[in-house]
Structure 1
Amino acid sequence: MTETTLTTFPAHAPLAVQTRGDVVESVHFGSLAAVGPDGATLFSRGEPTARMYPRSALKPLMAVAMVRAGLRLPAEQLALAAASHSGSVDHQDTAAKILANAGLDEGFLRNSTDLPYGVAERAHWLAAGRGPTRLAQNCSGKHAALLATCVHNGWPLDSYLHTDHPLPRLVRDVVAELTGEDITAASTDGCGTEVFALSLTGMARAFSRLVTAAPGTPEHDVAAAMRAHPTMVAGPGRDVTALMQAVPGLLAKDGFEGIQLIALADGTAVALKISDGGDRARMPSAVPALLELGLDPEPLRPFNNLAVLGGGRPVGALRGLPY
């Protein structure tokens, strides 16, 4: 890594603030891009063209690549293929079904092991005396679908994470196509799959393409599955699931390190990153952008102006900065 890389940072801007009483206690910086159905930028903050890793927000694009390669799953299972699920029994059972229908079992998975991601799901899992597993890890649906895609095409199973394998090569090409960006840098995500450095503008355009795609296309199928089964995309109590349930036709996917992608039914889309990777400001930072795009404020109220407690009572709020 060069000295220039170490000392050159994206020009992030304030996206959200936390107040305690009359004092601004914390400021959350980041970047955001909002694009229209034609991909043109409507407004932005910070430096949305800077490259960043979308992390799990990349999963819906990976699912599109799998469907293009011939993967056929019921909508509930396809939603899990694009998910960062909470690790509930239902989530794990659905991932196991994807494997079983391809003649496989958990032993073929090559994702990292982990406890369930959801707070309640993790507590229940630990109370039962269970430890980390690959099926419980939040990316197991994606990995199960990757393996099923390999079975369908007769591709090797043990090397499906290698960058020279046919499936990761296809994923790379599809991501470049949907974002409209050349892939110039890549690394390895937490679960073991390849992740690409892309701009927020490019990711917003890709999500716009998912929701505006014609019926019967892989893009449409993935978006429709996620919107029809929002509890598979995350889980009960998760803000991404709740937002899709609150706003009909909305598509949402989060990613580690403060990433949020949202597309509206008309193809308008928002992509943002919280600069330090913190999660708490991710959804509050998105709400003012959605209001600027004309969404009804009422269903968005639970996702912004989050109470800050002092002595067990509200004394401040975490809220996104308006446009």
Structure 2
Amino acid sequence: MMAAADLIELWRGGLPESIHQGHAVVWDRGGMVAAWGDPQAVIFPRSSCKMIQALPLLESGAADAARLGTEQLALSCASHSGARIHVDRVGAWLGALGLGESDLRCGTHLPWDAAESRRLTCSDEAPCQIHNNCSGKHAGFLTWNRHHGADPDYHLPDHPLQQAIRAATEEVTGEPVAGMGIDGCSAPNFATSVAGLARAMSAFACGGEDARGQGMQRLVQAMMLHPELVAGEGRACTDLMRAMKGRVAVKTGAEAVFIAIAPERGMGIALKIADGATRASEAAITALLVHYGFLEANHPVVGKYLTDPLRNWRGIEVAERRLAEGFLKI
């Protein structure tokens, strides 16, 4: 097993303060393009693989039977902020299925959206499962479940839906599932290598004429069409996709996983920061998107996630993020 590579550094007062190590792989139609760290490092993709989890929804015909549009498909891949734009749409989606909040199995947390969180905190209304960042994915699960008349506990590992997701994961990554964990939303999360995840994202970038290929293309196009639904205002996935104007879909996952899907190049990118630091995964994916020509180096979003100086509470410049030597030059 190869060691993780130094990817992102934090410098303060002219000295290195923190070094974030990790693994990153770039894959295209011809195979592996580049790698840092260990391409075979096994990771949990967490929410970065939601488009894989949505494949059975498309392939089974459940999405078309329910007449899902691009907004619902984007939400099925989302880790949304629980803003009204998200909550209202997921609620309407469930209502159209004849289902409700209690049919979800994702659990409840306060929304990440500041306005909605403040509204709930200042009222007598408690957050519900629709505020969960994974409620769109779970609405997709319920759509598949209703189409097949399956058991309501769709989140359990031995449920036919999760078995279909496991099979899809192995097929698009090109390798056996390396393990299984339970995600924050209670759904199984299937471990794979960083290379396998990048290979899968390249498959989504390429698409195809069969049911799976068309489903991949529809999910990617929906994400790029509705970046505000995939995450939310002020968040990296939304900011980066808006900056690239429909050229690339990106998706983060908990514990500092990030993927990118670039249809025009048939390219997939996957990375994992070993210490789970989000600031490093956001910086690393931004650097890779600049390096491969999807983002202009002087775009404000690059400054936000990579090149702008870090300031303290008084607005004084105190630190900077840098690419580790041997990672990339932008």
Q: TM-score, normalised by structure 2?
A: 0.89
Paired AA for residue 166 in structure 1: P
Which string of whole-angstrom CA distances, capped at 9 and with x for unpartnered residues, describes residues 163-211 of structure 1? 2211111111111111111113111111000101111111111111112
Is structure 2 residue 75 aligned with structure 1 residue 80?
yes
Compared with structure 1, are the counterparts of its residues 181 and 74 closer, same or farther at alpha carbon in structure 2 (3 Å cutoff)?
same
Q: Structure 1: which 5+ residue stretches go unaligned? A: 1-8
Deviations for 1:112-154, whole angstroms, at most 9, x for unmatched residues?
2111123454344323454342111100111111011111122
Tell me the equivalent position of 1:139: 134
Asked if 1:11 corresponds to 2:13, the answer is no
The equivalences for 1:263-274 within 5 A come to 263-265=261-263, 266-274=265-273
Paired residues in the alignment total: 313
* Match in the other structure for 1:198: 192
Q: Pick one of 300, 303, 306 that aligns with 1:304.
A: 306
Q: Within the alignment, does 1:224 sit opposite 2:221 as a pair?
A: yes
* Cα separation, 2, equivalents of 1:167 and 1:103: 20
Match of 1:27, as an amino acid?
A: I
How far apart are the structure 2 equivalents of 1:189 and 1:180?
A: 22
Residue 291 of structure 1 deviates from its aligned partner by 3.1
CA distance in 2, matches of 1:272, 1:32: 4
Q: Percent identity?
A: 33
Cα 1:129–1:259 shift into 2, 3 Å = farther
For residues 49-64 of structure 1, the aligned pairs below 5 Å read 49-64=40-55
Q: Kindly provide the CA deviation profile for residues 20-57 of structure 1, in whole angstroms up to 9, marking residues without a partner as x.
A: 1211111111111111233x111111112111100001
Q: Which of the numbers 170, 179, 196 marks the counterpart of 1:176?
A: 170
SS in 2 for 1:235: coil
What residue number does 1:316 align with?
319
C-alpha RMSD over aligned residues: 1.8
Structure 1 166/46 Cα, relative in aligned 2: closer, same or farther at 3 Å? same
Q: 1:155 to 1:282 in 2, by over 3 A?
A: same
Offset at 1:288? 2.8
Q: Is the 8 A contact 1:286 1:320 kept in 2?
A: no
Q: Report SS of the residue matched to 1:297.
A: coil
Q: Which moved more, 1:137-146 or 1:40-49?
A: 40-49
Distance in 2 (alpha carbons) for counterparts of 1:225 and 1:155:
27
Q: Which residue of 2 aligns with 1:48?
A: 39
Over residues 261-289 of structure 1, what are the superposed CA-to-partner deviations in whole Å (9 max), with x where a residue is unaligned?
01223222211111111111111112332
Aligned to 2:202: 208
Q: Is the 8 A contact 2:111 2:132 kept in 1?
A: yes
The answer (yes or no) to whether the contact 1:86–1:121 under 8 Å persists in 2 is no
Provide TM-score, normalisation by structure 1. 0.91
Q: Which letter maps to 1:314?
A: E
C-alpha contact (below 8 Å) 2:80/2:230 kept by paired residues: yes
Aligned pairs for 1:18-37 within 5 A: 18-37=10-29
Alignment partners' CA distance in 2, 1:192 and 1:28? 29
What amino acid sits opposite 2:243 in the alignment?
A
2:258 is the counterpart of 1:260: yes
